[in-house]
Structure formats: C-alpha cells, structure tokens
Amino acid sequence: MLTVQATISKDFSNFLIKEYGEEIEKLIARRDLGFGGSFGGGQENEENKHISKRRPIIFVHGLTNVAGTYEYIRRYFLTKGYNNSELYATTYSYGVKRFLKDKMECRHITQIRLLIEAVSRVGYEAFSRISTIRSIDDTIVGNIACDGQSVSSINGQNDEIVGYSHPMIIYATQDIIYRIIQGLKN
C-alpha cells in the first residue's frame, strides 16, 4: 500500500497551535502513527502563497483505516490541479492496529469536527462549505461530524458529503468523485 509522504504541513500545524492549542494540533497531526497519520495544509510564505479557489476536501476514513488509506485518491486530485492546501485527512482511531479493541466514540466525531472547523478557517481564503469524501462504513463519524445531525454545521450550512462503500470503490471511481465535486458550488 502507498503511504502518505508527510503529516500535516508546518504552516497548518502552526495555525492549529495558534488557534486551538498544542493538544489539538497533536490530535489532528497524529504523528504517533508515523507517515499516513494525517495530511494537508500548504505553505503560507510569500513566495509560495496560494489563493485557493476550490472548496477544500476532507477525507474521512473508516474505523479500520488511517488517513494514509486515501493517498491514491489524494494524488489523483493533485494531478487534477488541487494542491495540498485543499486536501486534508486525520486519523481518529488506530486503524487495523487496534480495531478489535476500538469502538466509535464521541472523541472520534469531535476530532473530525475540529478538522472540519480548522480547514474552514485556515488559510488563504475562508470557506463556508467543505466537501468530504468518506466511506459508508464510517456513517457515524461522517454523518454526525459533517452534516450537522448532532453537531451544528459550519456557518449554518450543511457540508457536502460524497459517500462510497469502501476505499477500493473510492479508488475505482475517483474520476466520478472528481466530477461530482467539480459540480458543487462554493
């Protein structure tokens, strides 16, 4: 399996520390899992400053996966002109390492919700809406954290959800997913 080449960017890390504190930054970065624990965020220095025109995408994995599970589709979106400041993921559990002992908990939803909130505030341009790509085996976290069933959505609007049944389906249908997201209005 291909793994993510880095965790969240230094600039996104600094933003999280400044706005949410070091504990939240560590929770989202998931460096304890090594590469593949998270990804996302661009560089904000003057030479590389990028004004994003696209709605950011957050990848939400299932309980038995980690953020790095979505490396193939992240790379696909990079080939379509997206950049790292528009593609994000964090790992809310431990993947296959502890899935028999792990269960869905409120802290998982809170962690994904914090990522959604941070991505909506970070950066180069504030976004009131975010696209999420998640597997249907992650209905609890995906629905509650993203569409406001139990947690209010960002700026009073529901976030767009693109749900598929399994990471392999997502990889096989990445072109369709890309076209769906391109059709959404910011």
HEC-encoded secondary structure of 40-51: CCCCCCHHHCCC
Per-residue confidence (pLDDT) for residue 20, from 0 to 100: 95
Domain boundaries of the chain, sorted by first residue: 10-183
Distance CA 109, CA 128 (A): 19
For 160, list phi and psi in degrees, rounded to 5.
Answer: -75, 135
* DSSP state string for 9-20: -HHHHHHHHHHH
Per-residue confidence (pLDDT) for residue 46, from 0 to 100: 38
Per-residue confidence (pLDDT) for residue 99, from 0 to 100: 64
- The pTM of the full predicted model, rounded to 2 decimals, is 0.71
Distance CA 71, CA 42 (A): 16
Per-residue confidence (pLDDT) for residue 23, from 0 to 100: 95
For 90, list phi and psi in degrees, rounded to 5.
Answer: -135, 160
Distance CA 48, CA 186 (A): 23
Instruction: Per-residue pLDDT tens, the chain, 186 aa: give them.
Output: 454 455 899 999 999 999 999 999 999 999 988 888 999 987 655 345 555 667 788 888 776 778 888 888 888 889 988 888 888 988 887 776 766 776 667 777 788 888 888 888 875 455 556 666 655 555 455 544 554 443 334 444 444 444 444 444 455 555 666 666 666 554
Per-residue confidence (pLDDT) for residue 164, from 0 to 100: 42
Tell the residue number behind the tokens 């960002």, with chain if given.
Answer: 154
List the CATH code of the domain at 10-183. 3.40.50
Distance CA 97, CA 154 (A): 32
Tell the residue number behind the tokens 């939240």, with chain if given.
Answer: 24
